Amino acid sequence: MFSFGIRPNRAARIVLTGALALGLGLGGAAVTASSATAAKQNTYIATPNGVAGIAQDVVISAPAFKGQSVLIGFQNGSISGTLSTTIAANGYGSLTWNPSSAGVWTISGLGSAVSIGSTNINVAALGTSTTLLAPNFAQIGQNSSLLAVVSAASGTVSPQGTVVVTNQNQNVIATGALVPNAGTTTSSVSLAWVPSGSGNLGLTATYTPSNGDTTGSASPQAIVTLSTDVVPVAMRISQSIHVGQPVLLSAVLGYNMPEGSAAFISNLGGISPSIPTVNGVANWLWTPNQVGVQYLRVNYSSTVRNSSGTSEQSVNVLPPLPQDTVTMTVSGMGAVTGGTAITIVAGQSKTLSFQTTSGAPVIVSEAGPCVLAGNTIIALSAGQCVITATSPGTSSYTTDTNTYVVGVTKAPKKKR
C-alpha cells in the first residue's frame, strides 16, 4: 500500500467532467471519496476520464521500477497504442497521452511492467457546431453549391461523418461526406445542388458522426431566394452573427460566369479589398464590431465583357456572445467559488462535480500534491493544490475559466 508522499513535478493532469458518471480505477479498484484502500496502494496507473482529442497526463506509481523505463499500453476496442516513461528515484513517472477516440480505454503496464496493473477510463466525444453557407439567391435549374462546415469545440480531432441538407419540408436536398481541414478541428464539404421550386427556400444541414469521437449537430436555417433570373454573383454568410466573432463571407459566381474578383462592403464602410475568385468563389473572414442591422453588398467584376454583378443581403449583428459560467461543487461543502477556503487532510479525498450554464463539459486540471482520479481529488501531502476548471464554450457561449485553491494539511499523528 502506498504512502502519500510528494510526487515529482509534472504537467497538469486534465480531465473532462460532465453529465457522465465519472470514476477511475487505481490498480483495478474503483476510486470514490471514501476509497481508503485504493488510496494506500503503492503501485498504480492514475489518470482522469477524458475527452477525445484533449491531452491528459497519466501518472504511474511503481517503486519497484525506479530508474527503469516502463511500457504503458492504451486500448479501446480495435484501437491501441503504447507510450513509455522512466520511473524516477521517488517511484513516480508520468507521460502525456492524447486519446484519439471516445469510448472505454484500458491503460495497463506491458512487458516487464505488467505487474503495475491496469485501469479503465471513459473518454467522451467532442461537441460540435454545424454551419450551412448557402447563396442568398440562386437560379432555378442551374448548378449551384452549398458549403457545410462542422467544427469541434476544442482538442485535435476533426469531425468525420456525413452532412445531410434538408428543406423546410424535410426533403433531402444534398448529402456529402466531410473532409477534414488539415491542422484544424474543422471539417467541411462542398455540395452540388440544382435548385427547383420557387420563392424562399429554408435549408438546414445536419451532421451525423461516422464514429463516436464527436457528437452530432445541426445548423441554423439558411434562406435562399429562388428565381428564374440569371444570378451573376451570390453571397454566402452564416445565419448567426455576433460582434467580435469572425464569420466567413463568400462571393459565389453564378452558372457559367467567368473568374474575376469580388469585394465586400457594408453601409458602414468597406469590409474587404478586391479578392480574386478561385473556382468561382472568393472568401473573406469578417469580424463585425457594431451591433444592429447592416446592409452588405458584394461587387463582382471580370475582364470578360458584360460579366459583372452585385448581390445584397441585410444581416442582424447580435451583441457579443455571453461568457459561459463554470460552477464547482465539493462533497460536504456544496457549490464553491474561487475565494472559498477548501481544506483537505493529507490522505483524504473529496468528490468534485462541475456544471456550466451552456451545458458544455468542463476541462479540469490540477497542480500540486494531489491526484485527480475521475471526479475525485485525493490529497497526497501537505501543501496547496490548484484546480483549474475551463469551459471550452459553445456556439452560444464563450469560454470561461475558474481556479480553486485546495489547502492540504498534515494528517494528525496517531497516539501510541
Residue 283 lies in a domain: yes
Residue 409 corresponds to which amino acid? T
Residue 224 lies in a domain: no
Q: How many domains does the chain have?
A: 2
Strand ranges in 8-55 using DSSP code E only, listed in sequence order: 13-17, 25-26, 29-30, 44-46, 50-51
Sheet of 281-286, strands arranged across: 233-236, 247-253, 281-286
Would you state the cell numbers that stand for residue 111, as one nine-digit string? Answer: 512487458
User: What was the pLDDT predicted at 42?
Assistant: 67
Q: Are 277 and 262 in contact (CB under 8 A)?
A: yes
Would you state the cell numbers that stand for residue 169, as one nine-digit string? Answer: 419540408
How far apart are the C-alpha atoms of 123 and 137, rounded to whole Å? 43
User: What was the pLDDT predicted at 154?
Assistant: 85
Residue 21 lies in a domain: yes
Q: Are residues 280 and 366 in the same domain?
A: no
Range of the domain at 271: 241-317
Q: Are residues 385 and 351 in the same domain?
A: yes
Q: Are residues 305 and 328 in the same domain?
A: no
Q: Are residues 305 and 332 in the same domain?
A: no
pLDDT digits (tens, 9 = 90+) for 269-316: 999 999 999 999 999 999 999 999 999 999 999 999 888 999 999 999
Predicted TM-score (pTM) of the model is: 0.79
Mark out the alpha helices in 1-121 (DSSP H runs). 36-39
The CATH number covering residue 51 comes to 2.60.40.10
Q: Are 353 and 383 in contact (CB under 8 A)?
A: no
User: What was the pLDDT predicted at 126?
Assistant: 82
CB-based contacts of 40, cutoff 8 Å, min separation 6: 1, 2, 3
Strand ranges in 260-325 using DSSP code E only, listed in sequence order: 261-266, 269-270, 275-276, 281-286, 292-301, 308-317
User: What was the pLDDT predicted at 370?
Assistant: 87
Counting as low any pLDDT under 50, the low residues of the chain are 1-41
Q: Are residues 21 and 113 in the same domain?
A: yes
Strand 342-345 relative to strand 400-409, pairing? parallel
**Chain centroid to CA 313:** 31
User: What was the pLDDT predicted at 32?
Assistant: 30
Last residue of a domain, one of 287, 317, 347: 317
Q: Are residues 307 and 347 in the same domain?
A: no
Residue 348 lies in a domain: yes
Q: Are residues 307 and 404 in the same domain?
A: no
Residue 234 lies in a domain: no
